[in-house]
Amino acid sequence: MTKNKGLGKGLGAIFKTESISIDDNSNSVINIKLESIKNNPYQPRTIFDDSKIEELASSIEKNGLLQPIVVKKTVSGYYIIAGERRYRAFEKLGKKEIPAIIKELSDDEMMIFAVLENLQREDLSALEEASSYKKLMTNLNLKQEDLAKQLGKSRSYIANSLRLLKLPLEVKERLSNGEISAGHARTLLSLKSNKDMTKICNKVIIEHMSVRALEDYISKLNNKKEVKKVIKKDIFIEEQENRLKKLLGTTVSIKQNKNKKGKIEILFDDNEEFDRIIELFGK
């Protein structure tokens, strides 16, 4: 599957049916009262940039709505499937109705469309993206490798994204607020305790540290904590260590003593990641 072009096929494969288009031109557009529309409970986006909603509202007021929203009818009104930003823009404009296309979808389909629509826009925050992947895996009983194939992404990309969900709450808030980047967050995950992650996260913000500076700082910090002298690794060992890291998508350490005996340590965060690594060895 080609990257960035496989979401339609991935959707069909997930359902094991033909892909369902939410932009089907055969559907008629009707005006629906805003007061009868509810937010999608499966919406992965938790933060909406108010300034961008204002910009969209100004554009709609000047040029009109170029694309109707898509909704699902319920006994008590409608749920938004796609177009929540457009809906919010109409609210800001004080509109009473909005053009919409009604689709008959199951709860699973509605959840998937909400997630995929946002993923395709490529402007989800790192944590929202990670939560979307987790939601798809949980609701559809998919493994990381299965999801990666469906979305046309590498398994390591999905794994690294999901790791962000393991951050302590304060660090997640800093990431959501844009005070640190996803690169900073992934680097902080190399620390062993939540306390250290939170403490050094605050240091990053105060000192305006780059990701590279943070990597160097943590590396020096870890070296200070080592009691024994570390024997410089053979360049071949380092190359194989890096190769295994890329292959397995997790931290790998190869340790060897003077007698050439050694061990390979592979880090895993939970049972799911352990099972995934074991499966890789079986291939």
Q: Which residues have a catalytic role annotated? A: 84
In the numeric block, the tokens 């844009």 are attached to 178
Query: What CA–CA distance (Å, rounded) separates 231 from 241?
Result: 15
Rounded to the nearest 10°, the torsion over CA 51, 52, 54, 56 is 170
Pairing of strands 97-102, 30-33: antiparallel
The length of the chain in residues reads: 283
Residues 8, 102 contacting (CB under 8 angstroms): no
Phi, psi of 136 (to 5 degrees): -60, -45
Closest CA to 231 of 210, 261, 190, 268: 261
CB neighbour list of residue 152: distance below 8 Å, 6 or more residues apart = 1, 2, 3, 4, 5, 6, 7, 10
Closest CA to 223 of 212, 234, 232: 232
* Contact criterion met (CB below 8 Å) for 148 and 173: no
Q: In this structure, are residues 247 and 280 in contact, taking their beta carbons and an 8 Å threshold?
A: yes
